[in-house]
Structure 1
């Protein structure tokens, strides 16, 4: 049975289908079309155009003047001029407009105007499309806003930025750094290499690190000095990362410089404060030593004559007593003599601890020797003094400092070390003065110093502060069952010390033998 063949659609149906597809496409694209008759001024709008302008079809199609009423003031004249340009010269026009809708919404349209000419070349009709581009326009505005913010952040950040190519040429620099330097952009970009921005000392450093930077891709917190156009300098802190291509080749740098002036100024002020504090500390030590000297002298001057006279009086009294009385009082007299001797010895020890007279009239070595002798008598610990390589005449304040450190070190040894021997070594070379004090005691772990249940270490702190206040260095070494050693050194280049020939032996300095045990 033959299959029935459907009748082909007529032209009207094809046209309706085509119009439906057109309207659907316009709705999806938020676009409408229109026509304008030049002679009558009548317009025709597609249904989508009514929706774009929020205009009811019942209101009918507006003429050109009424349609222009939908546009913002800045768009009205621009649109009117475009229509007349198309009519008078037959030129296609494309423009963007701001639309104020009846609902109060603000939208953006893109309009294309196409002139249609008759056989004589006269424009008799305009045809065009209008599309809602609000989303695109808002996206462009947001992009411009973000671009402006990023550019503003780059140009006016509170730090300098620049980028270099592989040859070190400046290819980008921000306004902040240009203001720091005092240059115009055209004087720098593509004309100067980075090393030219720095002071001579920083140039040498930059040249060394830039070659390495192109391989490692990182520079971090480098202290540099910018050289301004007027010749002045500016301390900065420089950090940089590199951009590499897919083959790992250096393309450009991303460098940030922060103003380091405040930190440098603080460092200078802190250094000046530390210097002033050290001066005050040294002055305090000098004042303390003078007070010790004065008090020791007054104690000696006031007590020694009286104790000597009392000793003589007791002796004369013992001789003047009748034999029977003397025999009866002899135990009391012996006790008085012993008490007097103990008092005299105690006052002598106090004066030595306060300020040994030997330190003032004979110098450091005899004073240490005397103190070591008394130390052994009190504690039974032998002290070995080695001055074989010591040939310096020291200022009195340095002698006092070294004696106090020795005194504190021996005191610590007697309290904590359980040692049998202490070695004191003093020497000088061309540039350094060195004193070492070491014992053979039980030692300790310096990491636990000051912890709960351990000695507070105030003596060590005092020695360290004394040495550092005077411009020296202090080092401590110790370990369980390995003894304890301290090392104090001073730089002789400051000119505080000068060599002198070793003094000749005399009864006053016979005790300053090169190596001696007490």
Structure 2
């Protein structure tokens, strides 16, 4: 009995050929994708049920009566013939996106792949095509594009709102500086006449000084964050005497440290060291580190500032004898508005901004900041810069 080779390479007898043909026909018609064949003029020769359902036509309405490209609206009608002519020469079309119109007028977006069939003399006979319905996919892409456009619009609005916020904070903080400075000066004048004040009045003056210092520190930090967010200022690099800069910074904290019984110590390898930096940036870095060390130090302890310098870099460390930082909180140190379990030892205010400002300013100077801490023994912050 003669054996035939099937579509999938299987063998079957000639007497079962009709069953096999029925199987292939059923497979063709009910495939998940649409299939069709066109003649040399582009008219439908064969079409499966999947494509008929997609387009809403009957087989009798398409076979020999309609050209495939008559159903499409993506290509112009006058160019369809030219496209098909080129296809018959090249013999293949891959991933061509088309928009078809169904019998009911619905638009169906599809992806077309096609191969040409030639006779032994190289003459075009027909084309076999597979079509994938991508209407849902294209709808999702359109929705995504619209959402992206909406998001871009919202981001633009947010950017302008943020700019206005930064502008307001900058103006408000700047305008508050002078009144706070005047309050501190007036409180200082009252202190000079302390012998004429009662004990209660002295406490009030101390509270006034402490409050004005907290407000001044808060305003200073707000201005720093505002400046960093607006990126309105770039470092002005020049040669500066780092020893003098550190000495001046420490002198500003002497009174605050004395009120807590904290002694400030400064150690430098050399009496004079010149290095390239931005004086305002570096001063703010040191001020924040020293202020932080005093806040979290116990009374009657010490804060040490050390300068190490070489021909290629200089390093400034600020060491306190305070509470220390828990190991699990070390990764939170430099985040904005981060407050850790350690609290200021005399109920000083802490915004959680100081160390984030230190990090951002240090990085703008191409430096690094690190921290070493032991619970109950204190904390040391170190900033390092190229000289």
TM-score, normalization by structure 2: 0.45
Which fold has the larger relative contact order, with Cα–Cα distance below 8 Å and residues 6 or more apart in sequence? 2
TM-score, normalization by structure 1: 0.35
**Structure number with larger C-alpha Rg:** 1
